[in-house]
Chains A and B, each alone.
Chain A
Amino acid sequence: MNIAPRYLGRGSWLARRDPRTIILVVALVGITVIQIWDIRIVLIMLLGAQLWYRSARIPFRLVKRQWLFVTFFVSLIVLWNTILTGGEVGGFQREQMHVLFHLPLLGTPIAAETLSYGVTQYARFFTFATLGFTMAYAIAPADLGVAFARLRVPEKFAYAIDLTFRFIPSLGNDLQTTIDAQKVRGHEWDKGKGGPIAKLRRTVPLVVPLTMNAIVNAEDTIDAMDLRAFGTGRRSWYRELVYDRTDRLIVAAVVALLVTFTVLGFAGVTSRTYVFPFLLDLAGG
């Protein structure tokens, strides 16, 4: 069974960047946006993220499912949050709020503040997703392990990531063999009646052999690593990543962004929810 991340951004401007840059941008901009609750700035961030994402030239029809799921998920969260708090979102108190209307059936009051907060949540969440998606599609699968390794995470941890990618295709093939072997015995995990528990139990004939075989086979892999002096001193890394001027500029800009908004956040400038004035007007506030 062929399992690999889909490298849809292949050849694009973004994919030509050092994978470390892509990872750093996701991480640093992510942390920046977490601290911002002013929708005006979040929207600028979202716009920037979208441009960044567009530079990977990922065809929309191939990622439609993922975007739909993200939309569904964030809608659920925003709605659920609103209902559960009775509209008292984001630290606004009932007395201060400017109610616009009430939700049918539930009667939850929806105020200018509630709506503004919900919109901000949407925008923030989409910024995270937009950035996150670049990591899924714009980094060559073979580079991902190496990229982490070179981000100065501890050497052994980095190598473990490399090794994880090495095991994926062979475990995929093993799983296919196990699925086939059980089919021959009249067992198909995705067919048959019963509730979720019964279905879960039907995966046991796949999960157990796959896991136990992988563990038994690991014995030889461990020997092979020891025999080639793994972990006995500082390693060098053969694979070269090109971190050029553009990359340096991008990372510098992103670091500056993070520092700026951390300071502004602590100063209380951007960490408060911005309530749209026109909504306040509408509520007659």
Chain B
Amino acid sequence: MSDAGPLVEVDGLTFRYRRATEPAIRDISLTIAPGEVLLVAGPSGCGKSTLIRAMNGLIPHAYPGGLEGSVRLEGRLTTELKLRDIALCVGTVLQDPAKQIVGATVEAELAFGPENLGVPRGEIRELIGLVAEQAGIEPLLGRETAALSGGERQLLAMAGILMMRPRLYVVDEPLANLDPRSADRLLEILRGLADRGNAVVIVEHRVEEALQLRPDRVLYLDGGVARYLGPVEGFLEIADPRAVKLPFEVVLARAAAGTLSEPPPDAASAAADEPAADAPPRLAFEAVDASIGDHRILHGVDASLGRREVVAILGPNGSGKTTAFRTAMQLLPVTAGRILVDGLDSKGRGTADLATIFGYVFQSPSQMLFARSVREELAFGPTNLRRDPALLDELIADCLRRTALDGLEGIQERAPLSLSFGQQKRLALAIALALEPATLILDEPSAGQDHRTAEAFMREVLAIPGLQSVYFITHDVDLALTHADRILLFRDGRIVADGPPKEVIVDEARWRACNLTPTSLMQANTRWGGDDDRFLDAESLALRIVRSGQTAPVGTEGGSTSTLLD
């Protein structure tokens, strides 16, 4: 390895995908030296993954298209190198770990890269030992990959790349699937790699967390163009806090400097409309047990979720959050205890019947789309439940209106699978609304979306007219705290905390035991928030602090993130 030259030189790079009319990235130039960490940030679709593909050789070797400019790895053009040689130099962890794991067992996955390079068995065995230790995944050896949690998979994908011993590590949005504790672990590994003279490129819009990696420089992409390339401080001054998630101190400083625009008005929350009557809760768990196969998942869950309430459910990967709601929808049997819906035992009620009370929106929208057109897709549920066909047209139009899909031209005749991810998510919502439920249950509404989109989606959901309550499961702590009236904290199939956001976060030990870390926004809310139980989002809180004149200098807060900034 030569320390003399840069590892990567990108020069005037423009790339257009074969079937696209516009380039996905335009005129990008940058160099990366050994030991350097580059953070790439930017909104969805801005070309981050495309830039990565150009660095790891998939462009032009696997993706043909219009390529101008050049990418050099250790002085050699990627167009002239073979993918095999590039693989020895650049290791890439793709966006979704579940899709890139090719081995049925952890060892098979780790061995895959070296096997392709023809490395002898003995050497692979040694490497596995080393890498497992480095990535901290020794306990996973011997397990089947299908049985791993999302967080474990992400670490395994990283380890699979470590096996190839490349000099440049490229990771695409590694934090999205991780609970905060696992995220810390991954960032540590990456930092260690850079300290040992490798280069790291990390794509991430959760800038607050990514700063922990102490990146040397930031590349901010928007619309395929580099808007900023330089040190972190300069980036924090210009970044739009609504597009990427910044530490609260930065937002506050921007507010103080008067460069923060007014946030959209908070939509009247569904729960705020009417005061709750003495009616029974919408959904009550009474000492509920549930099992999958022989494996007991829920251990005496007790909770009641109100008729007019926004409830967020937080907890580590695999703690039983999804299982609890699948049980409530009668998709899994209750093995002990009972579940009451509007005060009545729900035993014996069918799933479809319950769906008219709870609109259940699954995490991945495409897993239920099958019809030729959006119209047919929306009509499916009501038809199954034998609703009056005469009212169908009106119902469909109404659902599309409530989910802001009616703006798309000819939406009713479009093929559901041809919609973008964000549009499919709305369609999934519209499908749930077509059964006219009073309550929505959302499983990870923010998954697969950037900060701005997730935030906007949640706002829109809460503003849907005619809904009484919304219950949502999420890993995004700030999303939960700012939108929910109440938080349920899951751990190991039990509820360990239940109350308004302000109360739930008080016990920091418990918070951390649920693999959650205190965010800067959370600490700021505790410190400066008002007397009401609600948490404010970063911009609103910053503006409020500035207006009330109690501005504090950045960095005095002893929180976890401020120390990362020095």
Contact = CB atoms under 8 A, between A and B. Distances in A.
Interface stretch (B12-20, B80-88, B473-481): B80-88
Interface in B131-175: 144-147, 160, 164
Interface string B41-74: 0000000000000001010011000000000000
B367 A209 contact: yes
Contact of A239 (B108, B114, B355, B369): B108
A228 B368 contact: no
A164 B318 CA distance: 26
B352 A186 contact: yes
A227 B293 CA distance: 37
Contacts of A226: 58, 61-62, 83
A204 B326 CA distance: 23
A219 B92 CA distance: 15
Q: How many of chain B's residues touch chain A, expressed as a range?
A: 35 or more
B116 A231 contact: yes
Contact of A178 (B84, B329, B367): B367
Contact of A229 (B87, B366, B381, B435): B87
A163 B102 contact: yes
Contacts of A220: 94-96, 99-100
Contacts of B367: 174, 177-178, 181, 209-210, 213
B117 interface: yes
A238 B351 contact: no
Interface stretch (A20-28, A115-123, A165-173): A165-173
B368 A209 contact: yes
Contacts of A163: 102
B56 A227 contact: yes
Contact of B84 (A223, A232, A239, A240): A232
B482 interface: no
Most B CB contacts (10 A, CB to CB) among A173, A186, A223, A236 go to: A186
A236 B124 contact: yes
A209 B121 contact: no
Given A226-B83, A233-B84, A185 B160 contact: no
A4 to B, nearest CB: 9
Main secondary structure, interface of A, reads helix
Given A142-B105, A178-B368, A236 B114 contact: yes
A28 to B, nearest CB: 28
Interface in A143-198: 145, 162-163, 165-166, 169-170, 173-174, 177-178, 180-187
A198 to B, nearest CB: 14
A238 B108 contact: yes
B355 A225 contact: no
A212 interface: yes
Nearest to A2: B293
A221 interface: yes
A80 interface: no
Given A178-B368, A238-B124, A221 B384 contact: no
A180 B117 contact: no
B429 to A, nearest CB: 13
A245 interface: no
Interface string A196-219: 000000001110111011001111
A230 interface: yes
Contact of A181 (B87, B91, B125, B362): B362
B497 interface: no
Contact of B100 (A181, A186, A224): A224
Nearest to B91: A227
Given A185-B431, A209-B369, A232 B100 contact: no
Nearest to B147: A169
Nearest to A172: B146
B352 A184 contact: yes
A234 interface: yes
B119 A236 contact: yes
A180 B56 CA distance: 39
B355 A229 contact: no
A237 interface: yes
A99 to B, nearest CB: 58
Contacts of B417: 212
A234 B118 contact: yes
B528 interface: no
A235 interface: yes
Given A184-B352, A229-B116, A216 B366 contact: yes
Contacts of B360: 184
B104 A182 contact: no
25 contacts: A142-B104, A170-B146, A177-B362, A180-B362, A184-B329, A184-B352, A184-B355, A186-B381, A187-B380, A205-B368, A209-B368, A209-B369, A213-B366, A213-B367, A223-B58, A224-B102, A228-B160, A228-B164, A230-B112, A232-B83, A232-B87, A236-B118, A236-B120, A238-B107, A238-B121
5 smallest CB-CB distances across A and B, nearest first, come from A186-B384, A169-B146, A224-B100, A238-B111, A186-B352
Given A213-B366, A238-B108, 6 more contacts: A163-B102, A184-B331, A218-B99, A221-B102, A226-B62, A228-B112
Interface of A: 2, 142, 145, 162-163, 165-166, 169-170, 173-174, 177-178, 180-187, 204-206, 208-210, 212-213, 216-240
